[in-house]
Amino acid sequence: METFRSEELIKDFYRFLIQGGSTSHSASQHRDKLRFFLHAYLMEEWPRELDRVNGEIIRDFLGYWFLRHVGGSKSDVTAYLDTFRKFYDHLYHAARISKPELDDLLSVCNSREYFLACFDEYFSPFPDAWEDFSAGRPSLKASDPPGSSAHQNVDRQLWMLVRNLERPQPPAVLDFALFLDYLAHNSVSLTKAHSHIPVRHIRRMNQRFTSPEEMPSRTRMEYSSRVKWFYHLGLTLKLCRTGKKNTMEVEPLTEAFLDLDPNTQLAIILDNTWHHLNWADLGNTETRKVSEWAQEHKEGFAALLADLTPHREIILDPEPGVEREEALLARYIYFHDVVENTLLYALRECGVLDYAVHDQETGEALQIKSVTMTRFGRQVMKLYARRAMHGEKSSTSPLTKLQENLLFS
């Protein structure tokens, strides 16, 4: 792809800076940054001209690609933000981009804290999933016990993604709060056979949620993806416990969790679902080992999702005749019932992706037809995928391991 138009835009910007009183050294630095961005990154990753760039492209360039391929310093990152601000403000006043396009670009360029957090995360030792975050930590009461779920450190960069990426508020935050509120105000005795929530409580909870699920007349907790997920999530977060008389009870820490802002709650829900919740508890007991294997190779799954174009529907087809990565994605989903029937649901409720299903009878297992990533979800999965690569000691990548274990050739 030729870049004549972009080169002309850069030359025009350089002349504008000189006429505005900038030194030739300063103007040349801005020019050289734009040319590097254009030829080293943009033409390779998102082939297009400079006046067709959006905020997501800049976020990916400075928050990931630049750190991995160039390194540099924090001042290099902030200098690029300054160049982009000046350049795209100039393009707007030259009538080369629209006001909404400028607003999108500036909202990203003004997210200095986010990019500095990306830098710290990438160049620090492989972080614990519950590493403390430096900004926005919820204030806690002195009476809150140490080690409580309210004190559980939130993944800093995930929290920054949640806070900075524009997206609708996903239903998981409100629905999980409604689930905890129901347990706090109702006596729930678990079933003797499996220590599950009884049908009558499941139906009452279901009617409170933002979008009630369709359930068969003779339902069980296994038939509600939402209740099953929240039940195990609450136990994982130590917000709930099973009492001595086999009752489901909330811990005092629940109040502290519900006092957190919605962004922090979402980061905790998403990170616990991905890293700490045992996926085998969500799946069929007869295929527990298969569910454990799915979680063992979740980094490869993250890499597949991170490569999907946002808002593009991917029809799942496991046959090798389709694109290699898309066929691998279909095989991973179809091979693991816990992924197809529960995990994808949880990711959808957290705003990571959406999916369509084939026609089915109420109560039947899902048959996923297609998957569509959101912009927010793609950035989350890029974060998880690159952390796996950053901390990988083996010469084999997580994606290659996934491919080998699915016997994909």
What pLDDT does 127 receive? 39
Give me the pLDDT at residue 164, please. Answer: 78
Token pair, residue 261, equals: 């802002």
Q: Binning pLDDT at 50, 70 and 90, where does residue 358 land?
A: confident
pLDDT at residue 350 in the model: 96
The per-residue pLDDT for 149 is: 41
Residue tagged 């993604």 (tokens) = 161
> What are the extents of the domains in the chain?
4-123, 167-277, 278-409
User: What percentage of the chain exceeds 90 in pLDDT?
Assistant: 50
Query: What is the tens place of the pLDDT at every residue in 46-75?
Result: 889 999 999 989 998 998 889 888 888 999
Q: What is the mean pLDDT of residues 338-353?
A: 95
Distance CA 215, CA 200 (A): 12
Give, to the nearest 10 degrees, the angle between helix 74-93 and helix 99-109. Answer: 170
Type of residue found at 299: E
pLDDT at 396 over 70: no
Q: pLDDT by residue (tens digit) across 214-234?
A: 877 777 787 888 999 999 999
CB atoms within 10 A of CB 193: 6
pTM, two decimals, is 0.67
- Range from 130-139, 190-199, 266-275 carrying the lowest mean pLDDT: 130-139
Asked whether residue 322 carries a pLDDT value surpassing 60, the answer given is no
Q: Could you tell me which residue, 77 or 244, shows the higher pLDDT?
A: 77
pLDDT over 60 at 145, yes or no: no
pLDDT recorded at residue 361? 56
Q: Specify whether the CB–CB gap between 40 and 65 falls below 8 A.
A: no
Cβ partners under 8 Å of residue 174, min gap 6? 210
d(CA 34, CA 6) in angstroms, rounded, equals 9
Residue 129 pLDDT = 33
| pLDDT score of 363 more than 80 | no
Output the pLDDT for position 391: 53
Please give the pLDDT value at position 328.
87
Position 397 scores a pLDDT of 65
Alpha helices in 212-343 (DSSP H): 225-236, 253-259, 262-271, 288-296, 298-306, 324-335, 337-338
Q: Look at residues 180, 192, 404, 378 and name the one whose alpha carbon lies nearest to residue 297.
A: 404
Range ranked top by mean pLDDT from 33-42, 193-202, 366-375: 33-42
Q: How many residues does the chain have?
A: 409
- The secondary structure element, H or E, covering residue 314 is strand 314-315
Place of tokens 């030739």: 24
- Cα–Cα distance, 398 to 404 (Å, whole number): 10
Distance, in Å, from the CA atom of 225 to the CA atom of 217, rounded to the nearest integer, reads: 16
Is the model more confident about 397 or about 174? 174
| Higher-confidence position of 366 and 115 | 115
Alpha carbon 69 to chain centroid, angstroms: 23
- Cβ–Cβ < 8 Å for 31, 12: no
Other C-beta atoms closer than 10 Å to the C-beta of 393 total 5
Can you read off the two tokens belonging to residue 335? 């091979």
Q: What is the pLDDT of residue 1?
A: 59
Within a 10 A sphere around the Cβ of 96, how many other Cβ atoms? 17
What mean pLDDT is predicted for residues 109-121? Answer: 89
Q: Is the pLDDT of residue 274 over 90?
A: yes
pLDDT tens across 369-388, in order? 999 999 899 989 988 887 77
Query: What angle in degrees, to the nearest 10, is found between the helix axes of 171-185 and 262-271?
Result: 90
The chain-wide mean pLDDT, for the chain, equals 84
